[in-house]
Structure 1
Amino acid sequence: MSDTLSARTVTITGADGDQVEAYLARPEGESDAASRGGVVVIHHMPGYDRATKEMVRRFAELGYDAICPNLYFREAPGAAPDDAAATARAQGGVPDERLLGDVAGAAAYLRALETSGGKVGVIGHCSGGRQSVLSACHLDLQGAVDCYGAFVTGTPPPERKMTNLVDQLPNLKAPLLGLFGNDDAYPSPEQVDELEQILADQGSPYEFHRYDDAGHAFFAVDRPSYRVEAANDGWEQIAAFFGTYLS
């Protein structure tokens, strides 16, 4: 744990060489000289907002260099999160290939820091949960966390302009931690069951935790969906998971 940290907006090189805004938080103090892991935080569908930036700072408090790329920066530079998210949704969301390029750029930024030990994990909530799994199927990452990501399995509606990841899961390159609410519809418990069966059948390292009386967005402290017990336990699982794979 770090008692002090620094946080600022930076620019990373994302997909197609684009210069993308990102939010970086780092521990400060005696740990500055120590090699440490990095965490790429993928923001949820509502966008690059205050709640997501608080999560980035929380990872810095846990002792990691952490960064969140603004996935909607191209569509709405400088816009408020809600407006940027609405613009991105109207265009069908973030294309998977572009997402992979932005996450790869964020991971490269973390590995280039003088404090980096070379290991980088990824975490996402909501749409970011699916994108976290997608990233772990294609990029050099040492751990991935899926917080109730919809349409890793299951059938997305046509307007979402995406596919599920069933055909890509055999390429999963990193251990996966999944955190899900049993009252969620996207993903439903049945869709989580399907994902777990696929991972078990192919021998992928994974760990799932499911919470009763919790639906979608149970980590979101600013929403009625927030469930304190599930969120607190979820943070403990995340800390233990990254402590194992990024140390």
Structure 2
Amino acid sequence: MYAEQPKWLSPTHLKRRQFVVASVSAGFALAVQPISAQTITTDSEGLEAGPITMPTSDGEIPGYSAKPMGSGPFPLVLVVQEIFGVHEHIQDICRRLAKLGYVAVAPELFYRQGDVSQLQSFEEIRAIVSRVPDAQVMADLDAAVDWAMGNASADPERLGITGFCWGGRITWLYAAHQPNLKAGVAWYGRLVGDATELTPTHPVDVAASLNAPVLGLYGGEDTGIPLETVEQMKAALEAAGDPSQFVIYPDAPHAFFADYRPSYRPEAARDAWERLQAWFREHGVV
């Protein structure tokens, strides 16, 4: 089902493990400073939460995990980062999910291509992100499921995924990749695009082959994701008879859930978070 889980915490791996854990950004991306006064901070009371490393087919990568105290098994949600990496906002989302009873795991999916946490501009960050192959991302997400099964009392039969911006696109693709997925929630992820060697397909191309329903949460004022592309995706899903759905927040811009950025829209964010929880409950990620 998933990749074989190696023994990754032996003494010979400790030095490497300390290095990769340190690469997970504890703060916010420098490119989006200053931090908003509305930034949400979720504590770790009642949780096991912190940086992790996880084995993949070609070495270890860092990440962040949060889970409830106890032996489980717990439903599992993969959390897919924005272009800014696994910084504090993504870690906080993991803790919010853990407070709801989930194991939440966010692998650092740009790790091989570079560390985006210290970069000063969108141009520098995009230069790294553009080198990340979709195939690598799919494999690393599968490895995150393996890690959670072996180390965080996760139940792979109750598997969900949610992703933001860059991670929203990945959420759709993973729904077509992973046959054991129960549901996905994609936040303002790109839906169409040109095929390249590293990104050969986009969500509209895989609409007919999703293994699980996806809830798309998008902003009507998102200048980077025109509503006509949402309509294209809706048409492709309808043609395939797929039960995935969209919710459009008419006055919301891109990144309306990112409470550390000026784009944050509290009312839309709260409604969308409730819809995420309902979607996971409806489709068996509980």
* Equivalent residue, structure 2, for 1:42: 80
| Contact 1:75-1:88 at 8 Å conserved across structures | no
1:51 partner amino acid:
H
| Contact 2:217-2:248 at 8 Å conserved across structures | yes
The structure-2 alpha-carbon separation of the partners of 1:84 and 1:116, relative to structure 1 and needing over 3 Å to count, comes to farther
* Equivalent residue, structure 1, for 2:127: 90
* Equivalent residue, structure 1, for 2:175: 136
Aligned pairs for 1:193-208 within 5 A: 193-208=231-246
Shift of 1:115: 2.9
The structure-2 alpha-carbon separation of the partners of 1:33 and 1:48, relative to structure 1 and needing over 3 Å to count, comes to closer
RMSD (Å) for aligned C-alpha atoms: 2.4
Aligned pairs for 1:1-247 within 5 A: 4-14=46-56, 16-28=57-69, 32-76=70-114, 80-82=117-119, 89-91=126-128, 92-113=130-151, 115-118=153-156, 119-139=158-178, 140-150=180-190, 152-153=191-192, 155-156=193-194, 163-244=201-282, 245-247=284-286
Q: Deviations over 1:69-119 (max 9, x none)?
A: 011222335x63546986562242421001101111112222334633322
TM-score (norm 2): 0.76
Shift of 1:165: 3.2
Structure 1: tracts of 5 or more residues without a match: none
Q: Secondary structure at the match of 1:111?
A: helix
Structure with bigger gyration radius: 2
| Contact 2:113-2:131 at 8 Å conserved across structures | no
| Contact 1:132-1:144 at 8 Å conserved across structures | yes
TM-score (norm 1): 0.87
1:27 partner amino acid:
P
The structure-2 alpha-carbon separation of the partners of 1:72 and 1:86, relative to structure 1 and needing over 3 Å to count, comes to farther
Q: Secondary structure at the match of 1:104?
A: helix
Structure 2: tracts of 5 or more residues without a match: 1-43
- For residues 218 and 39 of structure 1, the distance between their equivalents in structure 2, rounded to whole angstroms, comes to 21
- For residues 121 and 43 of structure 1, the distance between their equivalents in structure 2, rounded to whole angstroms, comes to 15
Q: Secondary structure at the match of 2:259?
A: coil
Shift of 1:168: 2.3
- For residues 72 and 223 of structure 2, the distance between their equivalents in structure 1, rounded to whole angstroms, comes to 43
| Contact 1:121-1:242 at 8 Å conserved across structures | yes
- For residues 195 and 82 of structure 2, the distance between their equivalents in structure 1, rounded to whole angstroms, comes to 18
How many residue pairs were aligned?
238
